[in-house]
Amino acid sequence: MSRRNKTKDTKRDTLTFSTRDFLPTTKEEMDAKGWDQCDIILVSGDAYIDSPYIGVAMVGRMLERMGYRVGMIGQPDINSDVDIKRLGEPRLYWGVSGGSVDSMVSNYTATKKFRSTDDYTPGGKNDKRPDRALSVYCNLIRRYFKNTVPLVLGGIEASLRRVTHYDYWADRLKKPILFDAKADILVYGMGEIAIEQLTRALDEGRDYRDIRGLCYISKEPNYEFIQLPSHQECLDEKEKYIDLFDDFYDNNDPISAKGLCQSVDTRFLIQNPPCDYLNQAEMDANANLPFTRELHPYYAKDGKVKCLETIKFSIMTHQGCWGECNFCAIGVHQGRTIRTRTEENILQEAKYFNKYKDYKGIIADVGGPTANMYGYECDKKLKKGTCDDIRCVDADRLCKVMHVDHGRNLSLLRKIREVEGVRKAFIASGVRYDLITADKKHGYSYLKEMVKHHISGQLKVAPEHTQQHVLELMGKPGKETLVEFKKMYDELNKEEGKKQFLTYYLIAAHPGCEEKDMHELKRFTTQELKMNPEQAQVFTPTPGTYSAVMYYTEMDPKTRKKIFVEKDTKRKEKQKRIVVEKECFRTGFAS
């Protein structure tokens, strides 16, 4: 039976979707498929958005391909059994995710003010995602399903909170999320292979505890794994927490990582080594899964979800990021090795957009966590895994083994523009300007291609700061590289007769940053960059990052020396105001 019904458009065949094209989210949809029970029910802090950009949707489609009956419950009402019971009880397990964003990050600003909007909630009002969603959803399930099948945690909220972690909103160290949520199993990282292996094991009644990419609670320690400082030791001594995080951070690569074991009260958190990354063929296969790229009609009655404006007609070219910004958790969650799709598969996706009636020939984004990391990797890393003592890119250098080459990316962009129906293909994902300046073979040509064809008036770059000691704590390149890049960018725009600007992302109140540093940042942006910054954000210490470790311990994790950390909310906001206040230059230009 065909999944889709085609309706004739004057220019092309277009797709229309019914509830049968989605994974079921109501009992009526289960009945229509002839199901008496789901094998797996996935519960998420997002509404059910059937997109390859939504992790829980990807998991659902992967399990569907394996032949399992998968149900979806997005944003269940936590004050009743109406939503959580509407599909019944699954045969194998509940898969629980906080959503595409950590629920606390989603619900609160850096200064702990409640956010009124949510891009993953129909209608946009932030009234459906609970704080600490994983724990709340697990408690909801156990309230109405006594002695139920296993609860399996996944997604970014679970992944980054899987060991003892600093929680900014509680302002204290919290136990591994498996203990607080009272769940049974945690799948960390992207976890595609772990999920498939776990599901098979549970279905066949086999022991799952040796599957890579899983965490679970044990009554006994595993002495073959690295013994992390206990939760109590971390509470008692901040340097022990740094020790824990060093081991946690250094053991995320499937090739080189070891398992971890942590004592928590009278039990033990066991983290198996990471599961393997998908290879290129598997990346392509997942991209080909039958996503509708729509909000499920059950949720659409409450309004649109804003995130679809960006992701519906965007193309994810790769996973992973080796930039290692200390305030960013992408490297911990997605990994520090780039995994790419083939050009042919990406071009097929671009061509497929033509089947959508609302597609206007505009691809909103061609990229990934860092757009210009597509198409190259370190040969040494691919064979031996990530290095513990050397970063691929740091505040003052790019590793000499990392041969940056934008050639494949350049070729891909040119081919996308030739796809029938494509009018514009933008690069909205962030780019690392230091990689462009480092690539002496194709960097200039790549930037020229972007300036000429792939920028919508402005290009986003993220220097974050300009003071060297702050940049070193952030893990960001020095300001000299930014000046070199801006010069190249301005010259190319002049050559092309375009007036396109750079948009700079800046961070205030990062550990190590004082008000005098923000004044110097303001001076540099006005005098050297000839602009008044309009975008700056106050630093948020998110779990799974070295910057959060700095914020909590008030130490540089490398040297263990004390650093200044601004913790007063009003002074944090003052740091931001210093850099975003309007100022006119001598030229009379202000922006």
Q: Which residues are annotated as a binding site for [4Fe-4S] cluster?
A: 321, 325, 328
Cα–Cα distance for residue pair 145/84, rounded to 1 Å:
9
234, 241 contact by CB (below 8 A) = yes
Nearest to 258 by CA among 276, 268, 273: 273
Q: Which two tokens stand for residue 589?
A: 């230009």
454, 366 contact by CB (below 8 A) = yes
Handedness of CA 292, 293, 296, 302 (dihedral sign): negative
Residues 6+ apart with CB under 8 A from 270: 209, 215, 216, 217, 218, 222, 225, 259, 260, 261
Cα–Cα distance for residue pair 351/399, rounded to 1 Å:
37
Nearest to 62 by CA among 290, 390, 393: 290
Helix (DSSP H) and strand (DSSP E) numbers for the chain: 23, 24
Q: DSSP secondary-structure letter at 107?
A: H
Residues that constitute the known binding site? 321, 325, 328
Q: Which two tokens stand for residue 288?
A: 């080909």
Nearest to 332 by CA among 471, 108, 456, 161: 161
3-state helix, strand, coil in the chain (%, to 5): 35, 15, 50
Q: Residue 362 forms beta bridges with which residues?
A: 424
- Give kind and range of the element (H or E) at residue 61: helix 55-65
* Sequential DSSP letters for 409-446: HHHHHHHHHTSTT-SEE---S---HHHHHH-TTTHHHH
Q: Residue 108 forms beta bridges with which residues?
A: 114
Nearest to 535 by CA among 513, 488, 502: 502
Q: Which two tokens stand for residue 429?
A: 């994902």
Q: Residue 166 forms beta bridges with which residues?
A: 173
SS3 528: coil
Q: How far is CA 472 from CA 159, 257, 267, 325, 469, in A?
A: 26, 26, 38, 10, 5
424, 361 contact by CB (below 8 A) = yes
* Sequential DSSP letters for 286-311: HHTS----EE-HHHHTT---TTHHHH
138, 95 contact by CB (below 8 A) = no
Q: Which two tokens stand for residue 540?
A: 């948020």
Cα–Cα distance for residue pair 103/80, rounded to 1 Å:
20
